[in-house]
Amino acid sequence: MTTTQEQPTTGGSAFRRPKATTGFGSWFTTIDHKKIGILYFATAFLFFSLGGIEALLLRTQLSSPDMAFLTRDQYNQLFTMHGLTMIFFGVMPLGSAAFNYLLPLMIGARDVAFPRLNALSYWVFLFAGIFLYSSVLLGGAPDGGWFAYAPLNVLGGDPLGETLGFASEQSARMMFYSLGLQLAGIASLASAVNFIVTILNMRAPGMTLMRMPVFIWMTLVTSVLMLFAMPVIGVALWQLMFDIGYGANFFNPALGGDPVLWQHMFWLFGHPEVYIIILPAFGIISEVLPVFSRKPLFGYTAIVFSGIAIGFMGWGVWAHHMFAVGLGPVANAAFALSTMFIAVPTGIKIFNWLGTMWGGQIRFRTPMLFAIGMVAMFTIGGLSGVTHAIVPHNYQQTDTYYVVAHFHYVMFGGAVFGLMAGFYYWFPKVKGRMMDERLGKLHFWLMLVGFNLAFGPMHVLGLQGMPRRVATYPDGMGWNLWNLVATVGGYMIALGFLVFVINVLKSRKGGLPAGDDPWDARTLEWSTTSPPPVHNFNEVPVVRTRDDFWNRKYASGDPSRTPLRVPSGGSGEAGADAGDVAHDIHMPDPSYYPLVAAFGMPIMAYGVLFTPILIAVGGVITIAGLFGWALEPSAEEH
């Protein structure tokens, strides 16, 4: 790819922008949304694998009664880190990876609105994960569960915490929790703002809101949820940090704090968070099902509005996580009702997906198998969710394996199956190569069977009274068989992912050439080359209908439907000879300042843990990075 020669506007060489867009070093300075998407995917998949290994350790411990494979302390750290990793560093950023790569391509744009902010978001996310995991070496990982109920997590008294100046080791561990999630929240906020502005401002000419692909709609709703949910947990984490580190008292009732405050704040964030995890999968499914059924999406408007409704209603149901707290019958009844209502828009989507397949010419390729698997597994998880909403049932089920079964059907059966459908679907666009179908199908069946073996029996275990978060259980409770089955299922899932990794490594270079539009798809990203050029489109498409690309292929030879050449990058008309269009399109140059700014942040966090000097050092690095960023010459002028 030729880039034009540009002179920086200011002299100082410190401010000269890096130019390389290929090679190893370019990954550290890239601001191309596609490369950032790939970085997000690779990193999130590594964390996801780590979370998976933790899950296997947990399941190994639980495979038979009275096991001593792990200590209680290790078990507590592992299930906490497993939950945190899967949610904040695995599944959520896998959604971000898809947003980053696909959003500009699907709306006919050349990049996101703020490319360097996008890079910042990635680096902060990476450092947040490394920071959280560094706790393992520095005394112990958080061990209070992913929702870390205060004040239980700030009490205690033991040596490690005292050497760090805290009341206990427990509280030092929870400092890692608080600071790690605050960092991760900064990354989410940055990308949420970026995606919202990109969607609202950078759609191709003619792409009205109601002509956007459903995946873009779900990106928008997810981003809005992130924008409002992160500050809520941010405040709670800040309070937790002050309680632990600086003698404040928000949560400890012995000193006059409120023990239920944390739960309200956590779940006011935490419930929207589960929709942040599942909505990207809803978007993916809504793209995959029509393509492989060779029919338009059934009920586009209903799918979009039910997505928006979920985005609003998700804020009104948080106390369904707190029925057993003792909020009283009025609160419990109100939240039971609101929870049952939110099942309505979710059900509407399921009916629309089924309607899309109904009467279609279904092609059972790997993406479609995962999409159908997602609809089926998510439906099971949704149904057990409705049973939680019935308060007397909830009293019976809460803190048992029934809940663990439920949320894995939703988050794994829904979100992960959906993400896998998207991966197999878009891989040819990203790499220009097809994935191996045989390995893909093997992955699917291993995962589907393993998943149901792993999590199906947990419904039974839960109803038999097996509590969650126990490191072991005695013989003779009638729990042995189902626990063994669940463990076997867990290993089967891991085997499935091994096949997936082999498939990716094999197909990356050796897959069959994909061409631009291998699935005969409907959305704009398939109208450019595979992989897309740095600037995405030589000609910015003009959109006249929903499914415009499909209509252009099939509906008409109407010349007004050929894509319109739009002047590029502010430099006047694009070159007349099509071969050289790229020459006139200016993409912003790479930059190392997002990395610098992000690098200061974990140092500040270590400062809160160890010594205030590091807060200052990290602060200076971050501010220097931001100044360099602001002063960096633009690359636009010649």
CB 283 within 8 A of CB 353: no
321 binds ligand HEM (CB under 6 A): no
The one of ligand HEM, Cu ion, none whose footprint includes residue 271, by CB under 5 to 8 A per kind, is Cu ion
271 binds Cu ion (CB under 5 A): yes
Alpha-carbon distance 69 to 398, whole Å? 27
36 binds ligand HEM (CB under 6 A): no
What's the closest the beta carbon of residue 420 comes to Cu ion, in angstroms?
24
CB 190 within 8 A of CB 100: no
Binding test (CB under 6 A) with ligand HEM, winner from 36, 38, 44, 55? 55
Which tokens sit at 83?
Answer: 């939950």
Binding residue count for Cu ion, defined by CB under 5 A: 1
145 binds ligand HEM (CB under 6 A): yes
264 binds Cu ion (CB under 5 A): no
Cβ closest to ligand HEM, residue 184 vs residue 601: 184
Cβ closest to ligand HEM, residue 87 vs residue 109: 87
Which tokens sit at 394?
Answer: 């909830």
What's the closest the beta carbon of residue 385 comes to ligand HEM, in angstroms?
14
* Three-state secondary structure call for residue 497: helix
Q: What is the CA 619 to chain-centroid distance, rounded?
A: 28
What's the closest the beta carbon of residue 582 comes to ligand HEM, in angstroms?
39
Binding test (CB under 6 A) with ligand HEM, winner from 39, 81, 86, 598? 86
What letter represents residue 427's amino acid?
F
String marking each residue 100-139 x if it binds ligand HEM according to CB under 6 A: ----------------------------------------
Strands (E), 84-211: none
Peptide bond into 142 cis (omega under 30): no
CA distances from 56 to 82, 417, 468, 617 (A): 10, 19, 16, 39
Q: In sequence order, what are the beta bridge partners of 513?
A: 433
Alpha-carbon distance 609 to 177, whole Å? 11
Binding residue count for ligand HEM, defined by CB under 6 A: 23
Alpha-carbon distance 253 to 199, whole Å? 45
Cβ closest to ligand HEM, residue 86 vs residue 371: 86
CB 374 within 8 A of CB 419: no
Cβ closest to Cu ion, residue 278 vs residue 374: 278
What's the closest the beta carbon of residue 278 comes to ligand HEM, in angstroms?
10
What letter represents residue 446's amino acid?
L
Cβ closest to ligand HEM, residue 265 vs residue 416: 416
Alpha-carbon distance 484 to 497, whole Å? 20
Cβ closest to ligand HEM, residue 91 vs residue 514: 91
Task: Considering only residues 405 through 434, tell me which ones interact with ligand HEM, judged by CB under 6 A.
Answer: 408, 411-412, 416
CA distances from 311 to 42, 72, 96, 612 (A): 28, 38, 17, 40
Alpha-carbon distance 29 to 31, whole Å? 7
492 binds ligand HEM (CB under 6 A): no
Cβ closest to ligand HEM, residue 79 vs residue 550: 79
Binding site for ligand HEM (CB under 6 A): 52, 55, 58-59, 79-80, 82-83, 86-87, 91, 145-146, 404, 408, 411-412, 416, 454, 468-469, 490, 493
Residues in the site for Cu ion, rule: CB under 5 A? Answer: 271
